[in-house]
Amino acid sequence: MFELSTDVCNIKTLKNEDLSAYDAIYLGDFSCPEYPNNFSSNPKQLKKGLDLVKSHDQKAYLRLYAVPSNHDMPWVEELIDTAMDLPFDAFEVHNLGLLRVLQEKKCTIPIHLGVFGNLYTHETAKVLKQYGVTRVYPNPELSLKEITYIADNTPIEVLLPVHGKIPLVISETCFIMEHTENTKLCGNNKCNFPCLEDHWLKRGRKDGSSNDWSLKDTGRMTLSGKDLCLIEHADQLSSAGFTAFYVQNKGEAEGYASKVGHIYRTALERAFAGDSGIDCAPWLAELDALSHEGLCNGYYFEGAGQRYFGRA
């Protein structure tokens, strides 16, 4: 009927979190190779993570580092070589150079294009299909109408983010480390993971008005302050023909993916069953309480990403 997926960075989170609401898990943090035991940069962690996901009868997708520089390519290729020998259901690629690497390696594992792959048009989706891409994550700036056009005019599946913070910008270096005192470094000058604490960029009147701007920073990636939320529009998504939905979990506290996942699992099941009279208010209140800065709809309804459009 549909697939609901989320992301998990490492084996610790994978073990601790209740992910039973999800059909598939994106393994790894594509933004920071230094993140502790990150699946995206630790070949030795892959089999453990894969086995655990498969033991729950879920699909396992491996996320590859999104912005590899020249000096990163050897270790990323090493990770790919290890992963190609394992039964992953797909690799998620953000970097077109890595897409080319996978083609050179004659990779037969399906490929998903990630959020920083800059997918704006159906013609780009067609080009990517020639490289083995079977699913695309449209750029967050696209409206639902534009995404629907791509889905209707390409033989590629579209992954639709339905909840969580929106990835807005990525870095090759860590913003938190650049602006944190040296006490946050270990003695050997290695990262002591200050990103495990919540970091926020804020400006404005601090009165909760539209003049207040907020962003969440996870070090190498900046996310929207507000949480994207489409719970009120689940029936519209099912009737538009989307079948792959995603909850963004990077940077969230333990328990977030579980609570959000169960809400969307129920809402989407009812929407796909044709139940159009769903009262979303209790869910909306719960999701709002889980957010730090409130809810938004991203760009789906053609306004600024931080706006929220409810159902009349």
Q: What residues between 36 and 75 interact with another protein by CB under 8 A?
A: 67-70, 72-73
The smaller minimum CB distance to another protein, of residues 87 and 310, is found at 310
Region near another protein per CB under 8 A, out of 1-9, 213-221, 251-259, 262-270 = 213-221
Q: Phi/psi class of residue 156: alpha, beta or left (left: φ > 0; alpha: ψ in -120 to 50)?
A: beta
C-beta of 56 vs 206, nearer to another protein: 206
CA pair distance 62, 74, nearest whole angstrom: 18
Of residues 72 and 89, the one with the C-beta less far from another protein: 72
Residue from 13, 38, 41, 222 that binds another protein (CB under 8 A)? 222
Tell me whether residue 259 is exposed, middle or buried, using C-beta atoms within 10 angstroms of its C-beta: 0 to 12, 13 to 18, 19 or more: middle
Cα(185)–Cα(189) distance, integer angstroms:
5
Query: Is there binding between residue 198 and another protein (CB under 8 A)?
Result: yes
- Least distance (Å) from another protein to the CB of residue 15? 26
Which H/E stretch holds residue 91?
A: strand 90-93
Interacting residue with another protein among 199, 250, 261, 287 (CB under 8 A): 199
Q: In this chain, which of 82, 118, 134, 192 binds another protein, going by CB under 8 A? A: 118
Interface with another protein: number of residues (CB under 8 A): 71
Among positions 122-181, residues that touch another protein (CB under 8 A) are 122-128, 139-141, 143, 146, 149-150, 153, 166, 168-173, 175, 178-179
Alpha-carbon span 181 to 185, nearest angstrom: 8
257 contacts 6 by C-beta, under 8 angstroms:
yes
Tokens describing residue 224: 């929207």
